Structure 1
Amino acid sequence: MSNARNLLVIWHSRTGASKAMAQAAADHPNANLMRARDVSAVHLLAHAGFLFVGPENLAALSGEMKEMFDANYYPVLGRLEGRAYATIVAAGSDGEGAQRQLDRIATGWRLRRVADPMIVRFDAQTPEAILAEKSPCNKVLHDCRELGSGLAEGLSMGLF
């Protein structure tokens, strides 16, 4: 599996944007990448920190990301206190609803935010634009890579 100083990048994507951002963020030897539906309590407990990457759907977390939290919430409750986390939200125009929801869940687990929220807005307003495949620009991917690397390095050095 992994050791307790590694970063777990957990993602869900409907249009490709969150997947691409998660892959960029996990581009580090001390980072592990997992799709939300494959994450279990064992995976969460085996990592020192988390980067949650997913889309906002209807002003909330995507269903698959929310299901990951629902399925694992109680099995790890009381066992993750103080572990580091950060977030990347892919949004059409807002992203704040999903971000608030992520923060509320992380507060319940008593996780510690160690980086500012990253909300990437794709300005999708029509049904066609919302459903279309999305590719984050190079700057966004660079920022995701930097966030993931910073988290992974900080965890491996014991800073978080």
Structure 2
Amino acid sequence: MSRRKTLLIVYHSMTDGTRQMAEAARAGASADTGVEVRLLHAAQAGATDVLAAEGFIFATPENLAAISGQLKDFFDRSYYAVLDHVNGRPYACLICAGSDGHNAARQIERIATGWRLRPVAEPLIVCTHAQTPEAILATKSIRSEELQRCRSLGEAMAQGMELGVF
């Protein structure tokens, strides 16, 4: 009997928004019992976790029009150890943004292209419209309809992996 495929969700969250999004994706993916789901904070994830997974969801806040430093650190620590070992594996990304999110999504896309990962969904960007220092630093509460989008992405990712679609 072959082992279940593993979906690795790596996230960083400073104000709780991205964590909520990542947990919603995990809940959706976990509904499919054919795929093991691992949710790891970027500080705890590394190359061994990447190599052990058949698919990925990367989740980050957008900080100063970029991915978070913690997620960048994860990629820096893992990049060369997994290069040419994860070619063709599927990935998606979740971005919690104050106003835009597209530059953070582009950064993840560039890194994933280097790893030769295959995107299986458009970046899911949730905009909180936080524009003042107080709003940016405040604990976020992501709306239920946005969390449902994250859950649906996780579910679709797990189903696609289990069925061998990607």
- TM-score (norm: length of structure 1): 0.96
Is residue 125 of structure 2 the alignment partner of residue 119 of structure 1? Answer: yes
Q: 1:88 aligns with which of 72, 83, 94?
A: 94
RMSD: 1.0
Deviation at residue 4 of structure 1 after TM alignment: 6.3
DSSP-derived class of the 1:134 partner: coil
- Equivalent pairs counted in the alignment come to 158
Distance across 1 between alignment mates of 2:110 and 2:46? 20
Deviation at residue 36 of structure 1 after TM alignment: 0.8
Larger displacement relative to structure 2 (23-32 or 98-107): 23-32
DSSP-derived class of the 1:37 partner: coil
Deviation at residue 40 of structure 1 after TM alignment: 1.4
In structure 2, list runs of 5 or more residues that go unmatched: none
Distance across 2 between alignment mates of 1:117 and 1:32? 20
Contact 1:4-1:48 at 8 Å conserved across structures: no
Task: Name the residue aligned to 2:16.
Answer: 16
Contact 1:82-1:112 at 8 Å conserved across structures: yes
Alignment of 1:1-160 (within 5 A): 3=3, 5-27=5-27, 28=30, 29=33, 30=35, 31-160=37-166
1:12-45, Cα deviation, whole Å (9 max, x unpaired): 0000000011001011142211111111111101
Distance across 2 between alignment mates of 1:41 and 1:60? 22
1:27-66, Cα deviation, whole Å (9 max, x unpaired): 1142211111111111101111100011010010100000
- Percent of aligned pairs with the same residue? 49
Counterpart AA for 1:38:
Q
In structure 1, list runs of 5 or more residues that go unmatched: none
Counterpart AA for 1:24:
A
Contact 1:5-1:158 at 8 Å conserved across structures: no
List, as ranges, runs of 4+ consecutive aligned residues in structure 1 with deviation greater than 3 Å: none
Distance across 1 between alignment mates of 2:50 and 2:98? 29
Larger displacement relative to structure 2 (149-158 or 105-114): 149-158
Deviation at residue 132 of structure 1 after TM alignment: 0.3
